[in-house]
Amino acid sequence: MDLNRLYSDHQVLLMQADHAGPGLAGRSLRGDAQTLAGRIASYQEGMGAAAASAWKAQSVRLGTALSAALTARGLAA
For 2-21, write each residue's pLDDT tens digit.
889 999 999 999 999 999 98
- Confidence band (pLDDT; 50, 70, 90) for 62? confident
Q: Is residue 13 part of a domain?
A: yes
Q: Quick check: helix, strand or coil at residue 6?
A: helix
Q: Is residue 58 part of a domain?
A: yes
Secondary structure in 3-state letters for 11-71: HHHHHHHHHHCCCHHHHHHHHHHHHHHHHHHHHHHHHCCCCHHHHHHHHHHHHHHHHHHHH
Q: Is residue 77 part of a domain?
A: no
Q: Return d(Cα 67, Cα 1) in angstroms, integer.
A: 30
Number of folded domains that form the chain:
1
Q: Return d(Cα 55, Cα 50) in angstroms, integer.
A: 10
Tell me what percent of the residues of the chain surpass a pLDDT of 70.
Answer: 87
Q: Is the overall model pTM greater than 0.75, yes or no? A: no
